[in-house]
Structure 1
């Protein structure tokens, strides 16, 4: 008997048929003797009636500057609807279930509305229910402050809820259900040779998630990693075994040999900023950027300049800061960050050489590059992303 937390995303709950298939996954786990807790997202995606973005639009159309506290109230409604519908379906099938909001489940957060951090999970109510053979169906993406205000955990928050609940109740396994068969070596829309990853380490999946993979939120991975809880990414609509996430390294299924790279991912809408190094105000500039809650990435420091990238949505504010200090800078718009990931390439000579040679032979310009122990990040023009991913995937036989 295992304690299992199953999380179902919006596409797994979008239609009546999808919800019934999701409910069957829960019943299958429950009937083999597992103690099960369920976490649900809002039903569907943008433009679906109960999706989070749809609920946001109800107030944004009235006043685009609606307060963050009030916004959290309406954003939390989609998950409440999902939880009640899901628990009702389980009860109809003869499996006892109770819907719980984040607050009722004991998820306590800070008051950083729209992107709250969890402080603690008082899990007594959850454990009491599962010990009684009742399945708690918990609203993902939300919690409550110590003052009683409803908060949301930011994008991917339902994944985070699943992980923090699993940690709090001492779960053995977290299953993240979605509409694909598992994590893939690359986005199949970018690389037709992308394949399902059978097994992957925590660090590698964290890097994939942090650098653009949208299947799982990096914060959720970090939580199960620290708690040493196994995680699986599975498809609600198939019986595929999915991707298993553990501390183990993985091997190439065909060659049975450990491979250097695990996957390739990308982030679009990146902007490269290059600042003249001789400017005396560099320190103040970076301080002000940080105070504006703008994250910078791929920082390179040269003798004559500094280069870094930002999300395109922050370009206007960064330009204002740079203009305020009257510095000499260049902007390279319409870029994308491509990251290759693999624990096994640590300390292996020649990886960057192969990357450069591969892209040069295909006339792909590398605008900037940064490497770490398990990743190499490359900045390329947006129009070259698909070709870059395809050629690197081929070069390293991922």
Structure 2
């Protein structure tokens, strides 16, 4: 049987009209001779009555923060509500469906509440519903531990649910429905003429998600990549074909993607650059080890790391600035922080081994009088740190330079 996993984000089920459009997509899947397995996120976004962030804020109303285990129990309610409502929408159309929590769907996780990892999926229950012609409507973002505790998979975990079920069920594809027409060459808020891309490689989309693109969770891309299951990003509200995310070019269509070295420009704000110079009379090697161990203990993620015997620098989220400052104040070093920065990342598998990409980046930023503060790179990405006030201008300049 040809199984398609269809994952609907919160905006796709936030109103009666949008739930009707989601039901249209499910019926369309059936009309194509496939069997849909549906994954649903909590309704709406922060401020909407049953959105995950709204539930979190509600839990804080007593003045005491809920423990992680109890908070996961509360957060799981949003997806249950949206699944039941969408299931009723399908039943009104004569489609037989059944709602399953992540645990009832066989998603077994560890007990890292709030950001649990999936250990395995027992697809027996889902397959039984499919054999009986019943459409499973499964809560995204959640699972269950071996001991029976409900867990959540972290921010954006609904995408992870869709991908992990696609893998477990050996689905033909995983369709991710949202409120945009597909993956775009840049954030349209920053670059109004950003365009939707027809096809992308897993690797490029992973790095886009890593560096700020919100269209899909990077863990979902990793799962799809290891299982070689196509991901398709679509808009619930339109008939746009969306963006196909795959591991190789289709054999039946021209693959225009590789004609350009750069695929997209991602942008992440609220960053700070940390610059450190050790005292000459102290052992900088030992100090480095102590510093990075303490950053790890505080669960502070660092990026754009440059290490030299005479200096070191790295980027952090601005919210961690005070914590890092306290750590450094007890070290034999001189340091400074450059706050309110943004990281722009030029992404493209086509740039691997290709000279001149950095030259074009430098030219584009210089031509716009934007100071380049710091860089780092990999085979398929080049990240540039700029002052936050230049972020929109810089993304636009790079988008134009690479003719995206």
Tell me the TM-score normalised to structure 2 length: 0.95
Match of 1:352 among 347, 358, 377: 358
Q: CA deviation at 1:327?
A: 2.8
Q: CA deviation at 1:306?
A: 0.5
Structure 1 consecutive aligned stretches of length 4 or more whose deviation exceeds 4 Å: 253-257
In structure 2, the partner of 1:47 is: 47
* Cα contact 2:278–2:332 (8 A) shared by 1: no
Q: CA deviation at 1:193?
A: 2.2
In structure 1, the partner of 2:135 is: 135
Q: CA deviation at 1:277?
A: 4.2
Q: Which moved more, 1:96-105 or 1:354-363?
A: 354-363
* Cα contact 1:277–1:302 (8 A) shared by 2: no
| Offset from partner CA, 1:136-195 (integer Å, 9 cap, x none) | 000000011111111100001000000001111111100000011000000111112210
Q: CA deviation at 1:64?
A: 4.4
Tell me the TM-score normalised to structure 1 length: 0.97
Q: CA deviation at 1:248?
A: 2.6
The whole-number CA distance in structure 2 between the counterparts of 1:114 and 1:134 is 31
The whole-number CA distance in structure 2 between the counterparts of 1:381 and 1:357 is 17
Number of equivalenced pairs: 396
In structure 1, the partner of 2:13 is: 13
Q: CA deviation at 1:256?
A: 8.4
| Offset from partner CA, 1:368-392 (integer Å, 9 cap, x none) | 0001100000000001111111111
In structure 2, the partner of 1:152 is: 152
Give matches, 1:64-83, under 5 Å.
64-83=64-83
Say if 2:208 is the partner of 1:233.
no
* Cα contact 2:59–2:65 (8 A) shared by 1: no
| Offset from partner CA, 1:8-34 (integer Å, 9 cap, x none) | 001001111111111111111013320
Give SS of 1:213's match: coil
Say if 2:265 is the partner of 1:259.
no
The whole-number CA distance in structure 2 between the counterparts of 1:114 and 1:81 is 19
The whole-number CA distance in structure 2 between the counterparts of 1:297 and 1:245 is 26
Give SS of 2:364's match: helix
Q: CA deviation at 1:257?
A: 7.0
The whole-number CA distance in structure 2 between the counterparts of 1:374 and 1:107 is 33
The whole-number CA distance in structure 1 between the counterparts of 2:100 and 2:255 is 45
Say if 2:61 is the partner of 1:61.
yes
In structure 1, the partner of 2:327 is: 321
Q: Give me the CA root mean square deviation.
A: 1.6
* Cα contact 2:365–2:371 (8 A) shared by 1: yes
Say if 2:338 is the partner of 1:332.
yes
In structure 1, the partner of 2:166 is: 166
Judging changes above 3 Å, is the alpha-carbon distance between structure 1 residues 256 and 27 closer, same or farther for their aligned structure 2 residues? Answer: closer
Give SS of 2:137's match: strand
Q: Runs of 5+ in structure 2 lacking a partner?
A: none
Q: Runs of 5+ in structure 1 lacking a partner?
A: none
Give SS of 2:69's match: helix
Say if 2:294 is the partner of 1:293.
no
Q: Which moved more, 1:298-307 or 1:10-19?
A: 298-307
The whole-number CA distance in structure 1 between the counterparts of 2:318 and 2:47 is 24
Give matches, 1:177-256, under 5 Å.
177-248=177-248
Judging changes above 3 Å, is the alpha-carbon distance between structure 1 residues 351 and 283 closer, same or farther for their aligned structure 2 residues? Answer: same
Give SS of 1:159's match: helix
Q: Which moved more, 1:217-226 or 1:312-321?
A: 312-321
Judging changes above 3 Å, is the alpha-carbon distance between structure 1 residues 249 and 264 closer, same or farther for their aligned structure 2 residues? Answer: farther
Give SS of 2:259's match: coil
The whole-number CA distance in structure 2 between the counterparts of 1:216 and 1:12 is 14
Q: Which moved more, 1:74-83 or 1:355-364?
A: 355-364
Give SS of 1:61's match: helix
Q: Which moved more, 1:339-348 or 1:26-35?
A: 26-35
